[in-house]
Amino acid sequence: MSALLEVSGVSVSFDGFKAITDLSFSIGPTELRAIIGPNGAGKTTFMDIVTGKTKPNSGTVLWGEKGQSLLAMSEAAIARAGIGRKFQRPTVFEDQTVAENLILALKSKRGPFAALGFKLSKAGQGRVADLAAQVGLHDHLSRKAGELSHGQKQWLEIAMLLAQEPRLLLVDEPAAGMTLAEREQTTALLVDIARTRAVVVVEHDMEFVRRLGCRVTVLHEGSVLAEGSLDHVTKNPDVIDVYLGRG
Amino acid sequence: MTHSSPRFPAPSQAKTSQHILRPRKMARIPATVGMLAALAILTLAVTLLSPAFGMGEMSTSFVKTLGKTLCLCLAALAMDIVWGYTGILSLGHMAFFAIGGYMIGQWLMYARTQEIVVQALASGPIPATADEVAQGVATQIFGVVGGSDMPMIWGFAHSLPLQLVLVVAVPGILALIFGWLAFRSRVTGVYLSILTQAMTLALSLYLFQNDSGLRGNNGLSGLQNLPALGDVSQDLVSIWFFWASALALGLVYLGLSWGISGKFGSVLRAIRDDEARVRFLGYPVEVYKLFVFTLTAVICGLAGVLYYPQAGIINPAELAPIASIYLAVWVAIGGRGRLYGAVIGAAFVSLLSSWFTGGRAPSVNLGVYTIDWVDWWQVLLGLSFVAVTLLAPKGIGGLFDRLTGQRPPNRKGAPLGPNEGALQEQEAVE
Amino acid sequence: MRSLILAVLLACFGLHAQCDTVAQIATAHAADIAKPSRQSIGPVIADLAASGDPMAAKLLEAWGNKALGQRKADKAFFLLAPDPAGYALTDLTGASAGTAAKSDISELKPNAGVRGLIASALVQFTLSDPDPVRRADALTSIAQDPKAESLAPLRAAIDSETDPALKAQKQRLERLLTLRFDTDPAARIAAIDSFGSDLGLDLRAALNPLLATSRIATQDDGAGLNIARVLHPGRDLTAVEAYDLLVTTGAAPARLTHDDQKKALAAQITDGKVGGIAVADLTDQAARDRAYTALEAAGAVPTAATDDEVTAAIAAHHFYEAYAEPDASVTAAAQAALAKISRVVGAMQVADLTLDGLSLAAIYFLAAIGLAITFGVMGVINMAHGEFITMGAYTGYVVQQIVPGYTASLIVAFPLAFALTFGAGVALERLVIRHLYKRPLETLLATFGISIALQQLFKNIFGTQARPLTSPPWLDGALTLNDVVSISYIRIAIFGLALLFLGFFLYLMNRTRLGLEVRAVTQNPAMAASMGINPDRINMLTFGLGSGIAGIAGVAIGLFAKVTSELGTDYIVQSFMTVVVGGVGNIWGALAGATMIGGFQKAIEWLNPSNTLAAQTYMILFIILFIQFRPRGIIALKGRAAGD
């Protein structure tokens, strides 16, 4: 299987504290993957490395068919290359309308001159409407994003991610703070998305992961502890040790 | 694997109304039209009252004051774009304004002095050579700082077109270099503000030196006299500059309100509110910031070009850090994040300021102490600025929201967050 | 030494057979004294000086001060003093001789040359004056204006000196005079060598004239000149300079300046033409030259040196830089001595610069330490910090107006300044900043509003002129190691104060309950609150503390800077830079930042001493570049703790 993202032997430390040690990870072009692990396992740092926010001390991060290295690229360039990221806390532009948020995210040329001359095409209008409909925000297009509920903001952010048309989505705890019904909708949405692109979900919540029904990577102290189906990894004695044996 | 499709409520309308998706067509037009109309009416009124073309109800110096105010409004517009929209609190934009003034001042002073020197030399029995004229001009201009040679930086001063190129190029290139250095190392928030302030201080200290080539603390003077026009009266000159200032303000206002009404403006506000998020959307944030920083620096430079011939003199005190902070004060009082707010703030505060400090405001007799506004205006300004920041973060512009019934988005008791122009919480910790 | 004594004795006994009294000498040379000339009076003055009569000094002094008169009736000399009757007379034995009307006396008015001779003769007397103060004065006056004539009397006055300090001073001065004025080159070289690597300014002042050079143009090979170096026209000096040198020495005719040419042309205008060229066409130099050449040919104007002639004249001469001192061995010795001195001076200057840099760093640190607390620890940017410094300085000034005694008033001023600015800080925090946490840019603006209001308020109260804040007398003066290295006591005191604050801060943050709570609130306000710490109170106290320290710094800064309403503004940008460059949130960072900025600024000033403004400009540019490489400052908090 040719991987879309190939992370190998990555280490990073902050002031002597090793956040990631010799981590290797790969994901195919249309795959849903969950990453679980206790606090401080390095989940967020892993996403920081892939999206260019943190530069690792060693290791390689290769992207796409051509095996392009992501390490020399800026965050914006990585995003343009097709990696979208959703933060744990919903981060939408609260002062702008839902429509404006979506138009911002819509795949287009990103330079300032392109933005000055930007005019939303018919196709673009349709795409915004479709995306809004997909996450149930169609009726809220003209509202300011700041007025939305917490769950709606999460979905708006997911819609914005989709508007970027990324090939890989990194989703950090999408279900945090959601009601049960909202969780189910989110699960369905993620599974749906993963049919056409790669999705990495970082999550604490085992129930949520179980519902995703996908391959799971367990991180512990900055490296991969186990990988496989959820049932497989939960039988792994090391994983049991980490999750339960501490006390 | 479950393959249930997401279950969201179905859209209530089949078709999305177009205006929602096309922000450029949205309701920014009334403000722009209103502002341009007000500007046109003001221009007409000033022309009709001016000594040159009208009844002369208005003194030449007041026409100049109004013309200068329009230039300050122009600088405030630039400040609003860079701060109110993009969230970069630059404390250096008045330096670009002054640099523009210096650039045009070089030509004005050189050309005017040359006229005088040529005239003086013409009375001799032998006509002057070009060298003698140049030497005479240099002595005239640099005698005060004990020099008699033209410094290199006056190399273009003989030519108006070249000097006008410098008016754009010098502030632009300076802003480009400074911005590139600052933005690429991700200096943001208060750090950037302090850094811009330091840049301004460095520039003004440099210009205070006598060997800076720009006459040290004497600055450039006599800029109100236009060369090559003989003895055209200041009545006429003042109204010309008023027109030019009004035209520049109108055009820049129109251009900027077009620029920010679309996606570009949306990106800028997004950068202001959450820079990191914009980066993860794939926008080259640094390029945008640099673009805005440089563009607004050039606008400030142009405003300075129109301002200083009306003021008549420019010296390094003009680009002291305090001037740039006042620019921020005007925009804040007017209401940042809206163009008309910047214009209103700059006009209101600077006119009020010249009224108070001009000694025309009546003193207040408190019995034991008489408040003389020349002394107390700064205190009042400082305190009212604190009050505006604390109590009315939207400034005067906020009043318009009240009048037109617009309400801020219901934030459910959340603090006045990013949309008030503040950056992220993290900049406090960074 | 012995030969000197002998010389003096000979001057008295040998040369003149016997020592006459002053009165006798005066009578003998009455005509010379009454109408002295520089040539003839020398021996008389020498006789008087050598007479050994105590009246000699008085007579010479009176003569030099134009208070010596001759009675017209009998040609007798008297010392004159003003008296209602005219003059009170004292005869040459020192006895009073009554009074005389002004018309009876002709006052002697020796010319300047004679007075000079008298003065140097008097030196010998003052150098041996019984009053040590007068002896010291005489030494000072010789040192200030060293003359060849002073050498002999000085030598004569060494042995009789009883005061050891004065004796050492005399000996040093004797050597300094010897190396310049002695007639024997060997003695001069010995005097030069005797100083070793002494750093005294007086030594350098004595050596430098020996090496004074002048440019000389000769047609021969410069024999007889003590040549410092050979100058090659075009390389060591420009052709213009070379020719000008020839013109000033009269070896070549003056070149025609453009101005002179213009005047000459103007004088020759006939019918709108000069030398056949229309006046209106004389708008470039070439046309003027043609016109002048035409006039030259016609003989209407003097011939001026053409370029060819200039070149030839330069080629015909040799140019030298020659010492005024003819003896090459002396100049060589002086040069070697100066080179040795300048090496030592260089090292000392580095030491002095380091001290200067450190004391500037201490000042910046003092100004910045309050900021390091409010900005560094709390993340609150306070643009009014500079005004708190000013407030402290004005407090010191007001206290000095009330409390007598500079020391006592300082003791009162420090705590009072702290209390006042602490209060002001707490008020600012409660009224303004508290409402703006999480909105740093607006804090910046609001505190800026406070800053302009306070600044104007100071102006309204104290006026615009500088107010004196005088340091106590024990802080006056400087600790002087030698002529190069010195540091004023006040700077040492400020350095001490800075160290004190550093210690205080470290103690407060690391060893006290308050420090613990401050650190807790800084790191995690919510968690701290749940542990029972009141973040509101901590923020208020921390801000007050930072402001209070600014007040104390203000008193200290006021002691050496001008206390005006703009005092704080001068320090605010540097203070912020100090904190930013050093690294926010860390007191060692502020220290490192202050040291770097202070040291760097002094170094730039040293490279370009004429221009402190430029030094500040370059300093700021340097900081802007520095931040490129270490955006988080010298001492940065790293990793996730740094936030972002």
Q: Give me the mean pLDDT over the C235-254 stretch.
A: 79
What is the C-alpha separation between C80 and C510, in angstroms, rounded?
82
Does the pLDDT value for residue B228 go beyond 90?
Answer: no
Q: Give me the mean pLDDT over the C410-428 stretch.
A: 93
For residue A144, report the phi and psi dihedrals to the nearest 5 degrees: -70, 140
Which residues of chain B neighbour C284 with C-beta distances below 8 Å? 129-130
pLDDT on residue C71: 83
Is the Cβ pair A115, B264 closer than 8 Å? yes
Instruction: Name the more confident of C591 and B406.
Output: C591
Is B8 part of any domain? no
pLDDT on residue C604: 83
What is the C-alpha separation between B94 and B317, in angstroms, rounded?
11
C window 285-344, beta carbon within 8 A of B: 285, 288
Domain range for residue B174? 34-408+418-427
The residue in chain B having the minimum alpha-carbon distance to the alpha carbon of residue A90 is: B277
The residue among C637, C638, C640, C644 with the most chain A CBs within 10 A of its CB, best to mutate, is C640
Question: How many residues make up chain B in this entry?
Answer: 430
- β-pairing verdict for A168-172 and A83-86: parallel
Torsion sign over Cα A187, A188, A191, A192: negative
Q: Quick check: B130 contacting C, CB < 8 Å?
A: yes
Distance of CA A114 to the CA centre of its chain: 27
Is B2 part of any domain? no
Does the pLDDT value for residue B303 go beyond 90?
Answer: yes
pLDDT tens digit sequence for C194-218: 887 677 778 888 888 888 888 888 8
Residues above pLDDT 70, as percent of chain C = 94
pLDDT on residue C17: 41
pLDDT tens digit sequence for B149-177: 788 888 888 888 999 999 999 999 999 99
SS3 assignment for chain A: CCCCEEEEEEEEEECCEEEEEEEEEEECCCCEEEEECCCCCCHHHHHHHHCCCCCCCEEEEEECCCCEECCCCCHHHHHHHCEEEECCCCCCCCCCEHHHHHHHHCCCCCCHHHHHCCCCCHHHHHHHHHHHHHCCCHHHCCCEHHHCCHHHHHHHHHHHHHHCCCCEEEEECCCCCCCHHHHHHHHHHHHHHCCCCEEEEECCCHHHHHHHCCEEEEEECCEEEEEECHHHHHHCHHHHHHHCCCC
Hey, which chains touch C, using 3+ CB pairs under 8 Å?
A: A, B
| Average pLDDT in chain C | 81
Show the CA angle centred on residue C278, arms to residues C275 and C284, nearest 5°: 90
The residue among B133, B390, B424 with the most chain C CBs within 10 A of its CB, best to mutate, is B390
Residue C395 DSSP one-character state:
H
pLDDT tens digit sequence for C307-338: 777 788 888 888 888 888 888 888 888 888 88
Is B25 part of any domain? no
The CA-atom distances, in angstroms, between A63 and each of A32, C22, C209, C382 are 17, 114, 77, 46
pLDDT on residue A189: 84
pLDDT tens digit sequence for B247-265: 999 999 999 999 998 899 9
pLDDT on residue B66: 93
Q: What six digits make up the tokens of B27?
A: 């309701």
Does the pLDDT value for residue B402 go beyond 80?
Answer: no
pLDDT tens digit sequence for C80-115: 888 887 888 888 777 887 888 888 888 888 887 788
Does the pLDDT value for residue B412 go beyond 90?
Answer: no
Residues above pLDDT 70, as percent of chain B = 87
Is B389 part of any domain? yes
Is B6 part of any domain? no
Is the Cβ pair A115, B20 closer than 8 Å? no
Q: Which domains does chain C have, with CATH numbers?
A: 2-183 (no CATH), 214-323 (no CATH), 346-643 (1.10.3470)
Q: What six digits make up the tokens of B221?
A: 């003077």
Is B4 part of any domain? no
The CA-atom distances, in angstroms, between C507 and each of C500, C502, C504, C516, C517 are 10, 8, 5, 11, 14
The CA-atom distances, in angstroms, between C473 and each of C402, C469, C481, C489, C558 are 18, 12, 20, 10, 15
Distance between C298 CA and the closest CA of chain B, angstroms: 20
pLDDT tens digit sequence for C519-575: 888 777 778 888 888 888 888 988 998 899 999 999 988 888 888 988 888 788 788
Is B21 part of any domain? no
The residue in chain B having the minimum alpha-carbon distance to the alpha carbon of residue C280 is: B127
The count of structural domains within chain B is 1
Q: What six digits make up the tokens of B308?
A: 């200083």
pLDDT on residue B10: 54
pLDDT on residue A222: 82
Which residues of chain C neighbour A19 with C-beta distances below 8 Å? 640
Residue B372 · residue B363 · CB < 8 Å:
yes
Q: Which of A183-197, B333-347, C239-253 has the lowest mean pLDDT?
A: C239-253
The residue in chain A having the minimum alpha-carbon distance to the alpha carbon of residue B282 is: A76
Is B19 part of any domain? no
The residue among C637, C638, C644 with the most chain A CBs within 10 A of its CB, best to mutate, is C638
pLDDT on residue C306: 67
The residue in chain A having the minimum alpha-carbon distance to the alpha carbon of residue B85 is: A95
pLDDT on residue B426: 34
Distance between C525 CA and the closest CA of chain A, angstroms: 20
Does the pLDDT value for residue C3 go beyond 60?
Answer: no
Confidence (pTM) = 0.80
The residue among B280, B401, B410 with the most chain A CBs within 10 A of its CB, best to mutate, is B280
Which residues of chain A neighbour C641 with C-beta distances below 8 Å? 14-15
pLDDT on residue C610: 65
Does the pLDDT value for residue B421 go beyond 50?
Answer: no
Res. A182 pLDDT band, cuts 50 70 90: confident
CA torsion, points C617, C620, C625, C626, in degrees to nearest 10?
140
Does the pLDDT value for residue A246 go beyond 60?
Answer: no
Which residues of chain A neighbour B13 with C-beta distances below 8 Å? 138-139
For residue C68, report the phi and psi dihedrals to the nearest 5 degrees: -110, 135
Q: Give me the mean pLDDT over the A219-225 stretch.
A: 84
